[in-house]
Amino acid sequence: MSSRKGQRDAARVVREQLARERRRRRTVWVSAAAVAVLVIAGLIGWSVWSSQRSDSFTTPPGANGPGTGIVTGGGPVTVDVYEDFLCPVCNQFEQSSGATLEQLVSENKAKVVYHPVAFLNRFSTTEYSTRSSAASGCAAAGGKFREYAKALFAKQPPEGSAGLGDDELIDIGVGVGLDRDSFGSCVSKGTYKTWTEHVTEEASRSDVTGTPTVLINGQPLADRSPQGLTAAVAAAGR
């Protein structure tokens, strides 16, 4: 009798162990399935968001085909200038070599594409890089991109500050000949903020990691002085 009882107890223990193992396996499979569903949902959501985002920006007049910069001139050599209106070194480049770029354009030696990126938002309490870049898009719509960009650099606020307010950005535009009503409305509505996001994202995808970055026919320019810039354009045009 005791032998049969021992056998029954042993069988019961085995059944309980098997039941616990089945429950553990079910838990593992349910958890794995839940994770898989979340991953798939996340990928689908990201794909939808990405596709919607890529088609949602408003491009200002005067932009290049991909909508990543404002084009001036039509010379045989392409000069890409990536700049942030809060960047002090970009301001220095504008003061030292901005006129040289304009001369190369006027002599039909170069086509210059200006990419106003918003890399330095973290150094402003009001996302000034984005707001000023978007305002430059409004200036492009009014045919005054270069005039406005130069005026922005001339009144560049210090890093770490709030930057210029929208009213000040509008006043600068009026000062270079833009219409207060149409330009002001464009700035206030943030019409080209989506374009700024696009320009900035595409610059990052192109491995642009800082400003100013200057490319001559796609190749980085090491010497950004007027002499270095002129020589590089001449060499690329041969």
Q: What is the pLDDT of residues 66-81, one digit of tens each?
A: 999 999 999 999 999 9
Give the pLDDT confidence of 116-129 residue by residue, as tens digits. 999 999 999 999 99
| Long-range own/partner contacts, residues 48-56 (CB < 8 A, 24 or more apart) | 53/197, 54/198, 56/194
Tokens of 210: 């800082």
Q: What is this structure's pTM?
A: 0.77
pLDDT in tens, 180-225: 999 999 999 999 999 999 999 999 999 999 999 999 999 999 999 9
Q: Which of 40-44, 55-59, 166-170, 220-224 has the lowest mean pLDDT?
A: 40-44
Quote the pLDDT of residue 36.
46
Mean pLDDT of 25-38: 52
C-alpha to C-alpha distances, 187 to 60, 130, 132, nearest whole angstrom:
13, 11, 9
Judge whether residue 21 has pLDDT over 70: no
pLDDT bucket at 13, cuts 50 / 70 / 90 = low
- Cα 26 to Cα 42: distance, rounded to the nearest angstrom: 24
Residue 101 confidence (pLDDT): 98
- Can you point out the beta strands (E) in the chain? 70-72, 77-83, 110-116, 213-216, 219-220
Specify whether the CB–CB gap between 103 and 75 falls below 8 A.
no
**Neighbouring C-alpha atoms within 13 Å toward the C-beta of 61:** 7
Res 130: pLDDT: 98
Task: Output the pLDDT for position 3.
Answer: 56
Which position has the token pair 């990052």?
204
Alpha helices in 55-127 (DSSP H): 88-106
Q: What is the pLDDT of residues 130-156, one digit of tens each?
A: 999 999 999 999 999 999 999 999 999
H/E stretch holding 64: none
Mean pLDDT for the stretch of residues 100-125: 97
